[in-house]
Structure 1
């Protein structure tokens, strides 16, 4: 028997497992939504990751390798509030992700809803997460590699922001790598439109990479993602998890009350150090836009290609790289995005 036939023969039992009648009740209307998948052509294989209310599986859809995120509503003793929140999160993620088409953003394939289970199907990226990649390294990443990877992240985020979306949970676990070593932004479970983000929401971010204004639940902008990017850039340079000797709560306290940041390695080039510090500035308006970050990193890439280091950056007016990078960011100027019209949810 062929492997495909073996998988096919397991489909019925696989779907019985996932779509039984247990779990909490969710009020929703079955409809022929644009992004609904044909469940007869979807097979779910082995689980490879999980969250508080979701599981990630390697699967096959229409003979293509995919990742399947299963969100299951548990028995809810709080009058269905958890079920309503998870369904809202599912609807928001599908609505946003289905509109984001960019080489550095994970590709959306479809979705399904069989309350109390919802699923989101995306392309499967075989090399796993940036977190897993960094964890396996035995040596510090070469600077060229850091810049190349940072460019992929920054380009993806520049596009996401241009579409009026804030990710809100940018961290290495949510950056995936394909077989060509291209990095892609993933997991839009708590992403939101920049016109409707709720600073008091209970589902925002991860403390180690979270901007101070988000920790304090103050109003915030897309600059919270730039702050998170600064921590990711530090992580690639330093080879460590931010605040790894602290608990997440301790890290959040230190950031908010002491303006604490991880120590940048002494051998980090001054220009790279300046960019990291600019990205994780306490004041959001001092952080660059991602379009500006892309331009700076492209200069880093050009300097490394021509000289092997960051000593020949163009357009820097002084030898002080901190002032020079700030000047370059100011010269590029702020990017004024035309806000996209608020989309009508497909799963309303």
Structure 2
């Protein structure tokens, strides 16, 4: 596991982990070259070991890196290090739309449209560059603390769709189009379908199709009609309901032709929410109607009116503070009417985002308060830390800082090769959610002393703990031979921070493991001291150079079995072969002398052919 202080690509310093998904873990990091915070998404091991997936993942990520749009989380870099593959992205402070919906419940129609328009604009920019997202879902939509809506993971879903290990499928299948469920042709209309499902969830607080497994949900997308969103949101305007229904038609050709067409109707819904203007082909909702194409002038006018309609009368009493026409719609600020319409729409969407940001900040405060214990929403849960490898008393201290009471810790003892008092196992692994009302079981090395398990744990580990820590000093553990991740975690458990690493070749230490540490094991240092590690690059590959001379009085041929190479060596000539990974080559030389034929020409004499085979030693490259 990557921990705080680790450097990636000698550039990105890990600050903390901010999330985890089916495909990857996401960390906040500091880019020391450009001096900015970034998010780093690191592929999980099962994906990194699949060469086909990795190749497709890098291709798609690099393609998506060309996308630049205010409503898209930008990709800055794609790379790999020691078999670990990562993407460096724009860091957006905020929460996912999924969390926002879970905390707020149903969103009012104006807020839902505002979010949908911003998501749609990001999708539109991608579609214009031929990039289909394929995994639009609330978990991939981030609302920043400033209220800006951004879509993430462009291009990544395409790589995942070809991989059989799709651990995040359960979360994605709720929003997958019917053609994705049947592994059919996927285009921009699939993203439109997924956005329609996201809008359904925003206004109703639930997904239209759910089940116990991915297959059951996929079949519903293919065969079942969804309940109209107005059944759960009676006040939902007809225009928005029909936009959702049109976007989620099971046949792709009945949906919006492009995301731009859908954005047009979303703007109309802001201006005339109760007008039945949405055309649905072959629908049970009424007779099909033909809509005339809107001119660019009408489009600009619509954008302006949509911006002016974007207020929140039902939810906010201080509406005038945010939507003052004198402040935001002064015609003197614009010389061109077309620019005015787009500018107003952008500004009002941003202002509407501020309203959403207020709710987001409140939600974040509630979440942080719940984690810190300031507020209590049921049984408090924490993310479990790793205490394996630490002394029992030190483990209890660390768990106490997390909020785990010693009364909730049950200790069992076993004799093994570890030092007495060392925690060798914990019932809840690192990273898992743990309720503070539950019991945590620790296995400790050594024999149980008298008293209950909790007391014996303390007595059994006290002497060892005193030898490894004293006040504000700690003993440096040995991490030589451990993997970089395990070494970093072991040192972190001892309150020592890895600040930098370097790499060297080693014949004895496997690649990715620690060769040496800057502070010797057993040395007493102050808590939170810094240490540097030298990481093995594995055995340095030695290559050899060869020079093979022609010993015959004429041209000869050669064959080299080990490298499958053959050819001709001229008279008095030689061949030079470099960068060979074996130190000896078996070279076979064949020479056929020439004779003067009756017609006066020189011809080969196969009856006099000479062949020699020899082992040739190479010269190693330094």
Indicate whether the TM-score tops 0.5.
yes
Equivalent-residue separation in structure 2 for 1:326 and 1:221 (angstroms): 26
- Decide whether the 8 Å contact of 2:75 with 2:88 is kept in 1: yes
1:203: Cα distance to partner? 7.0
Determine helix, strand or coil for the equivalent of 1:265. helix
Asked if residue 290 in structure 1 is aligned to residue 290 in structure 2, the reply is: no
Asked if residue 85 in structure 1 is aligned to residue 52 in structure 2, the reply is: yes
| Structure-2 change in CA distance of 1:49 and 1:253 (3 Å) | same
Determine helix, strand or coil for the equivalent of 2:106. coil
TM alignment of 1:302-317, pairs within 5 A? 302-303=271-272, 310-311=273-274
TM alignment of 1:37-186, pairs within 5 A? 39-61=9-31, 62-74=34-46, 82-137=49-104, 139-186=105-152
1:246: Cα distance to partner? 4.5
Determine helix, strand or coil for the equivalent of 1:331. coil
Asked if residue 331 in structure 1 is aligned to residue 299 in structure 2, the reply is: no
- Decide whether the 8 Å contact of 1:46 with 1:58 is kept in 2: yes
Determine helix, strand or coil for the equivalent of 1:128. strand
| Structure-2 change in CA distance of 1:140 and 1:72 (3 Å) | closer
Q: Deviations over 1:172-195 (max 9, x none)?
A: 001112222111110135345xxx
1:119: Cα distance to partner? 1.3
TM alignment of 1:225-236, pairs within 5 A? 225-236=191-202
1:60: Cα distance to partner? 1.6
1:311: Cα distance to partner? 2.8
Name the counterpart of 1:23: none
Name the counterpart of 2:238: 270
- Decide whether the 8 Å contact of 1:199 with 1:217 is kept in 2: no
Higher RCO by CA contacts (8 Å cutoff, separation 6 or greater):
1
Deviates more, 1:258-267 or 1:269-278: 258-267
- Decide whether the 8 Å contact of 1:292 with 1:332 is kept in 2: no
TM alignment of 1:220-259, pairs within 5 A? 220-244=186-210, 246-256=212-222, 258-259=223-224
1:112: Cα distance to partner? 2.4
Determine helix, strand or coil for the equivalent of 2:10. helix
1:128: Cα distance to partner? 2.0
- Decide whether the 8 Å contact of 2:73 with 2:151 is kept in 1: yes
Equivalent-residue separation in structure 1 for 2:150 and 2:43 (angstroms): 22
Equivalent-residue separation in structure 2 for 1:283 and 1:155 (angstroms): 23
1:213: Cα distance to partner? 1.2
1:220: Cα distance to partner? 2.8
- Decide whether the 8 Å contact of 2:53 with 2:160 is kept in 1: no
1:313: Cα distance to partner? 7.6
Name the counterpart of 1:337: none
1:199: Cα distance to partner? 8.1
- Decide whether the 8 Å contact of 2:63 with 2:155 is kept in 1: no
1:262: Cα distance to partner? 4.2
| Structure-2 change in CA distance of 1:326 and 1:132 (3 Å) | farther
> More strand by proportion, 1 or 2?
2
Equivalent-residue separation in structure 1 for 2:178 and 2:278 (angstroms): 32
- Decide whether the 8 Å contact of 1:275 with 1:325 is kept in 2: no
- Decide whether the 8 Å contact of 1:259 with 1:282 is kept in 2: no
Determine helix, strand or coil for the equivalent of 1:226. helix
Name the counterpart of 1:301: 270
Equivalent-residue separation in structure 2 for 1:128 and 1:202 (angstroms): 29
Q: TM-score, normalised to structure 1's length? A: 0.71
Structure 2 segments unaligned to the other structure (5+ residues): 296-622
| Structure-2 change in CA distance of 1:89 and 1:49 (3 Å) | farther
1:245: Cα distance to partner? 5.2
Determine helix, strand or coil for the equivalent of 2:293. helix
Equivalent-residue separation in structure 1 for 2:250 and 2:278 (angstroms): 26
Asked if residue 261 in structure 1 is aligned to residue 230 in structure 2, the reply is: no
Asked if residue 217 in structure 1 is aligned to residue 179 in structure 2, the reply is: no
| Structure-2 change in CA distance of 1:69 and 1:262 (3 Å) | farther
Q: State the aligned residue count.
A: 279
| Structure-2 change in CA distance of 1:214 and 1:312 (3 Å) | closer
Determine helix, strand or coil for the equivalent of 2:203. helix
Q: TM-score, normalised to structure 2's length? A: 0.41
1:327: Cα distance to partner? 4.2
Structure with higher Rg: it is 2
Asked if residue 281 in structure 1 is aligned to residue 249 in structure 2, the reply is: yes
Equivalent-residue separation in structure 1 for 2:21 and 2:160 (angstroms): 22
> More helix by proportion, 1 or 2?
1
| Structure-2 change in CA distance of 1:230 and 1:315 (3 Å) | closer
Equivalent-residue separation in structure 1 for 2:44 and 2:135 (angstroms): 21
Q: Deviations over 1:183-224 (max 9, x none)?
A: 1110135345xxxx9987647862111111111112232211
